[in-house]
Amino acid sequence: MEFTAAIIAGFLKGEIEGNPETVVYTVAKIEEGQEGALSFLANPKYEQYLYTTRSSVVLVNKSFVPSTSVKVTLIRVDDAYEAFASLLRLVDQSRPRKKGIHPTAVIEPTAKIGSDVYIGPYSYIGENCYLGNGCAIYPHVYVGDNTRIGKNSTLNPGVKIYHDCVLGENCTIHAGTVIGSDGFGFAPQSETEFMKIPQIGNVVIEDNVEIGANVAIDRATMGSTIIRRGVKLDNLIQIGHNVEVGENTVIAGQTGIAGSTKIGKNCMFGGQVGIVGHLKIADGTKIGAQSGVPGDIKKENSILTGSPAIEHRDFLRSSIIFRKLPDLKMKVDNLEKDLVSLKGK
């Protein structure tokens, strides 16, 4: 596929600086550009590469002012990062879709399969399942009995969805993720023995959710573990039983959320965040990487960092003191010696 700068600018409603007939046929990072490539510049720390890149066209923000002359053709847009992302979506959507049902796939007779569906080799679709129109089920996927999957959703290789779960429309689940495995529920019987509590609920995932690779979302003990519409989950995340994740929340990798915690909408969690069970996290909360959250967050749009997590500004002030602790200890030790000397006199 080839596009001129003029076509790209028209699609993005951008302004061209340079040759509108410049042709691009691939995309590349600005620091790894090559002739015929389209790149973007959004982060100021990469500006140096704009003047040396071999890319043919670069997207920049309308507010960007170069510090020296630029050889490449520029397309000015409101948000270069967002514009580049929309072009990547266009390229991705132009790829040919797989269709048809592979002869090695096992589909139980009571399952209902929509039109224009792809079901890859060695996949299993259980009793009374429903797959909406346009779904893509890649090789070695397991879909348990009574599970419903909305239209245009994609399960990548090796995804496992246990029985009775619900997946909405336009969802993407990446390889190795397990949805609906048992919640971590055991009742102590003695100091050394535990009795398993049956997990008879399910997992409900609403529309337009994307879940990364090797994520585990536990089924509810009773009721549902719920992932609301628009949620984006990174790789290697653990979500416990009866958790609810609010709309359009974004969670980075290796985060763990213990059972029955309710997370508000439009939250953002960094990597390796740990949240204990039975908490309520207010809408718009932002939590920095490697933070530990031991209690409710009641104030909307809070920004927290650290373990235990505290307000971000307080954490920054505290970090200055952390760095000075060795010097402060030495001063205290010296003061104690002086006091002992004065008492001796």
Q: Which residue is it, tokens 């053709």?
A: 73
Contacts 24+ apart (CB under 8 A), 310-315: 312/286, 312/288, 315/288
* Cα–Cα distance, 1 to 223 (Å, whole number): 49
Nearby residues of 319 by Cβ (< 8 Å), 6 or more positions away: none
* Cα–Cα distance, 106 to 135 (Å, whole number): 16
32 DSSP 8-state letter: G
Number of Cβ within 10 Å of residue 45's Cβ equals 6
Q: Is 241 assigned a catalytic role?
A: yes
Catalytic residue chosen out of the listed positions 102, 140, 174, 241: 241
Number of Cβ within 10 Å of residue 344's Cβ equals 6
Q: Which residue is it, tokens 């519409």?
A: 229
Number of Cβ within 10 Å of residue 210's Cβ equals 16
- Are 187 and 164 in contact, with CB atoms under 8 Å apart? no
Q: What is the DSSP string of 121-180?
A: TT-EE-TT-EE-TT-EE-TT-EE-TT-EE-TT-EE-TT-EE-TT-EE-TT-EE-TT-EEE
Using alpha carbons, select from 99, 96, 118 the residue that is nearest to residue 107.
Answer: 118
ω into 308 cis (within 30 of 0)? yes
* Cα–Cα distance, 296 to 36 (Å, whole number): 52
Q: Which residue is it, tokens 């953002």?
A: 268
Q: Which residues are catalytic?
A: 241
